[in-house]
Chains A and B, each alone.
Chain A
Amino acid sequence: MSAAPLAAPKPAPAHRLPAGAVAVGLLALLLAAAGLSLSLGASGLAPWEPLLRPLSPVEAAILYDIRLPRLLLGALVGAGLAVSGALMQGLFRNPLADPGLVGVGAGAGLGAVIAIVLGGALPVAIRAATGIYLVPLFAFAGGWAAVVVLYRVASLRGQTSIATMLLAGIVLGALAGALTGILIFLADDAQLRDLTFWGLGSLAGANWLKLTAAGPILLAGLALSVPLARGLDAMALGEAVARHMGVPVERVKRGAILAVAAMTGAAVAVSGGIGFLGIVVPHILRLAVGPGHRLLLPLSALFGAALLIGADTAARLVVAPAELPIGILMALIGAPVFLWILLARRAVLEL
């Protein structure tokens, strides 16, 4: 891959939709998905039933301790993953970039695998302090560790080289993959099954504690991305041009990497491997409203949240009372849709 990244998608004014209408549409989609997510489930309990009759403790738990935290966590994870994708694509000026490219996902995965396979060998104090949240904590730490290493490698005299970061990310990903492989080899039967299912991703473990732990990190990442939009737009023209325009290029890069690390780390930690969202959501939105990040980032958050909530609702209905791992469903629904869009509009996308 060359140091000068692939061109950003060219603006396609011909088919662009009015941004206001898109925003309103996505908001409606998000609300509809949230409503369905609260209303539908294996137990067929509607959210307005508390208004009509007193709920049993179990019914109350289903609505307030299972569906509600799951809905909120799904919204934040979906928004975080989609915005992470948009940020990475902006930063690398490459429409195919995603958080996986810089090794955050692999680092988080390695952290989770360490916790699953070696968790029993950790000092009792650590296990006692983390309890059942050992795996998410390690996943988050692994993602962060990957970013710290990446940043150290890619920074020289206060300058961060995007090309070096990309290469370092690929190398880190390979290293994390190899270490994960060693642990998989060491794992016993039960651990292997845990690893497999963790990798497929699921929001089934959502609860208030996970939401209060990961929610603020995801929100902070989203907040951190907002002021980056102007800088990323300028950097689409090249770093030198952006610098001449007065954009603090280094700060934008650092901010974007921090935001991606926070959001991806937290998302992977609470939901395992949910791919695809980070690539597909920004792509579809770029086709609709163009490549400007001031629209792309907030709309990605809305669309990502709506999509993940919708997919999660489907995941728990398709084979109820069992549920599908959401990563599978995401790819199963998303990939054909994405392929169709590519086929229909490849001339506009100019990949």
Chain B
Amino acid sequence: MIRAGLIALLLWPALARAEGPGRVLSVGGGVTEIVYALGEEARLVGRDTTSTFPPAAAALPDVGYMRQLSPEGMLSVAPDLILLSAGAGPAETLETLGAAGVAMVTIPEGITPQAVTEKVAAVAAALGVSEKGAELNARLAAEMAAAQAAVAAEPGPAPKVLFILGNSGGRLTGAGAGTAAQAMIDLAGGENAITGFSGYKALTDEAIAAAAPDVLLVMDRGDGGASEGATEADYLAHPALAATPAGRAGAIVRMPGMFLLGFGPRTPEAITALHRALFAKAR
């Protein structure tokens, strides 16, 4: 067993070459996360600005923001394959890269557990490691089932959750239908306190009062530093928020944005964490 492992390790570089492209540029935080989750990070030669997890990814050359890519920067890391999150662009850049003969694969995006499975399968297939993808998907399916079972077993009523994307100058941006935030709130057994619009929109004080959330869900950039923006006290000091049940009880849940909204390999974990946090705060 150990010997087999050692042989596999020694043969690894050769196997990797035989299996698929050796130099991979990953564009999109979710796609990069999946490459790491598949254990294929040794092939990565570059990433985009949104690829911040796992922290080791930061050591790779950054070819820029995924919606504003430049062709030469991407070609400069000499990729055999570019993995693109859906939404990467601009289209002219992708066209130029295509004309230069670089292989590109676009990985679909989505905000359902099914979409996570599809993303993993697409990345694994592009890397030529479909079996590893199937293994990862089997593990994720088990984790997802466990997370959903825990949510289903929750006795209490669903807490009303207000997700706040940003707090610029006291103007709060909430998440309506069709957003990753609402999808996560639903999966974690909560109920989106905002109804009646889709996408992320600025909230009026009246809308906040009418939403009457039991819990506030805010993003934590996860670096613990200056970029964290508003503190919990800032949210609680907001007059409209302070008057809601969540504001009165000080019920705030913070989670790293990519962890919460990424719909990647950490999503089952995120659902469990969010579920626990929501129900703990709502009580």
Q: A325 to B80, alpha carbons, bound, how many Å?
A: 27
Q: A323 to B65, alpha carbons, bound, how many Å?
A: 9
Contact between chains at B101 and A321 (CB < 8 Å)? no
**Residues of chain B lying within 8 A (CB to CB) of residue A57:** 100-101
Which chain A residues numbered 41 to 64 have a C-beta less than 8 Å away from chain B? 41-44, 57-58, 61-62
Q: Residue among B46, B65, B87, B100 with the most chain A CB within 10 A?
A: B100
Closest 9 CB pairs of A and B: A322-B64, A61-B100, A205-B92, A321-B73, A42-B76, A132-B91, A43-B76, A204-B70, A42-B73
Give the Cβ gap from A118 to chain B, nearest Cβ, in Å: 15
Contact between chains at A322 and B73 (CB < 8 Å)? yes
**Residues of chain B lying within 8 A (CB to CB) of residue A65:** 96, 99-100
Q: Does B61 contact A (CB under 8 A)?
A: yes
Q: A320 to B46, alpha carbons, bound, how many Å?
A: 12
Contact between chains at B199 and A188 (CB < 8 Å)? yes
| A57-B101, A132-B91, A188-B199 as given contacts; A66 in contact with B72, CB under 8 Å | yes
Give the Cβ gap from A190 to chain B, nearest Cβ, in Å: 5
Contact between chains at A202 and B101 (CB < 8 Å)? no
Query: What are 13 A-B residue pairs whose CB atoms fall within 8 Å in the complex?
Result: A42-B75, A43-B72, A58-B101, A61-B96, A65-B99, A66-B96, A67-B72, A132-B95, A204-B90, A205-B92, A206-B92, A322-B63, A323-B73
Q: A204 to B69, alpha carbons, bound, how many Å?
A: 8
**Residues of chain B lying within 8 A (CB to CB) of residue A205:** 90, 92-93
Contact between chains at A44 and B199 (CB < 8 Å)? no
| A61-B101, A207-B96 as given contacts; A189 in contact with B199, CB under 8 Å | yes
Q: Does A193 contact B (CB under 8 A)?
A: yes
Please name the residue on chain A nearest to B89 by beta carbon. Answer: A194
| Interface 1/0 per residue, A206-221 and B, CB below 8 Å | 1100100000000000
Please name the residue on chain B nearest to A63 by beta carbon. Answer: B72
| A61-B101, A321-B61 as given contacts; A42 in contact with B72, CB under 8 Å | yes
Q: A64 to B135, alpha carbons, bound, how many Å?
A: 44
| A197-B67, A321-B61, A321-B62 as given contacts; A41 in contact with B92, CB under 8 Å | no
Q: How many A-B residue contacts, CB cutoff 8 Å?
A: 100
Q: Does B71 contact A (CB under 8 A)?
A: yes
Contact between chains at B46 and A321 (CB < 8 Å)? yes
Q: A320 to B77, alpha carbons, bound, how many Å?
A: 10
Q: Does A316 contact B (CB under 8 A)?
A: yes
Contact between chains at A202 and B68 (CB < 8 Å)? yes
Report which of B70, B76, B90 forms a contact with A44, defined as CB distance below 8 A: B76
Show the binding face of B for A, using Cβ within 8 Å. Answer: 46, 49, 61-65, 67-78, 87, 89-93, 95-96, 99-102, 199-200
Contact between chains at A197 and B65 (CB < 8 Å)? yes
Give the Cβ gap from B93 to chain A, nearest Cβ, in Å: 6
Report which of A197, A204, A206, A321 forms a contact with B76, defined as CB distance below 8 A: A321
Contact between chains at A41 and B76 (CB < 8 Å)? yes
| Interface 1/0 per residue, A301-329 and B, CB below 8 Å | 00000000000000010011111010000
Contact between chains at B72 and A322 (CB < 8 Å)? no
Contact between chains at A204 and B49 (CB < 8 Å)? no
Contact between chains at B67 and A193 (CB < 8 Å)? yes
Report which of A44, A190, A197, A204 forms a contact with B71, defined as CB distance below 8 A: A204
Q: A62 to B78, alpha carbons, bound, how many Å?
A: 11
Please name the residue on chain A nearest to B61 by beta carbon. Answer: A321
Contact between chains at A321 and B95 (CB < 8 Å)? no
Q: A322 to B156, alpha carbons, bound, how many Å?
A: 49
Please name the residue on chain B nearest to A186 by beta carbon. Answer: B199
Please name the residue on chain A nearest to B178 by beta carbon. Answer: A188
Contact between chains at A320 and B73 (CB < 8 Å)? yes
13 extra A-B contacts, CB within 8 A, seeds A41-B72, A132-B90: A42-B76, A43-B78, A58-B78, A61-B99, A65-B96, A66-B96, A189-B199, A189-B200, A205-B92, A206-B92, A320-B73, A321-B73, A321-B77
Give the Cβ gap from A219 to chain B, nearest Cβ, in Å: 21
Report which of A61, A132, A206, A323 forms a contact with B75, defined as CB distance below 8 A: A61
Q: A206 to B46, alpha carbons, bound, how many Å?
A: 23
Give the Cβ gap from A113 to chain B, nearest Cβ, in Å: 15
Contact between chains at A190 and B87 (CB < 8 Å)? yes
Please name the residue on chain A nearest to B175 by beta carbon. Answer: A189
Q: A44 to B77, alpha carbons, bound, how many Å?
A: 11
Q: A320 to B70, alpha carbons, bound, how many Å?
A: 10
Report which of A66, A190, A319 forms a contact with B67, defined as CB distance below 8 A: A190
| Interface 1/0 per residue, A72-90 and B, CB below 8 Å | 0000000000000000000
Q: A57 to B92, alpha carbons, bound, how many Å?
A: 19
Q: A194 to B68, alpha carbons, bound, how many Å?
A: 8
Q: A42 to B78, alpha carbons, bound, how many Å?
A: 11
Q: A175 to B63, alpha carbons, bound, how many Å?
A: 37
**Residues of chain A lying within 8 A (CB to CB) of residue B90:** 132, 194, 204-205
Q: Residue among A188, A205, A207 with the most chain B CB within 10 A?
A: A205
**Residues of chain B lying within 8 A (CB to CB) of residue A58:** 75, 78, 100-102
Q: A41 to B63, alpha carbons, bound, how many Å?
A: 13
Give the Cβ gap from B109 to chain A, nearest Cβ, in Å: 10
Please name the residue on chain A nearest to B91 by beta carbon. Answer: A132
Give the Cβ gap from A187 to chain B, nearest Cβ, in Å: 9
Contact between chains at B70 and A207 (CB < 8 Å)? no
Give the Cβ gap from B172 to chain A, nearest Cβ, in Å: 16
**Residues of chain B lying within 8 A (CB to CB) of residue A193:** 67
Q: A42 to B79, alpha carbons, bound, how many Å?
A: 13
Contact between chains at B49 and A322 (CB < 8 Å)? yes
Contact between chains at B93 and A204 (CB < 8 Å)? yes
Q: A65 to B93, alpha carbons, bound, how many Å?
A: 11
Contact between chains at A316 and B73 (CB < 8 Å)? yes
| Interface 1/0 per residue, A20-57 and B, CB below 8 Å | 00000000000000000000011110000000000001
Contact between chains at A132 and B92 (CB < 8 Å)? yes
**Residues of chain B lying within 8 A (CB to CB) of residue A319:** 62, 64
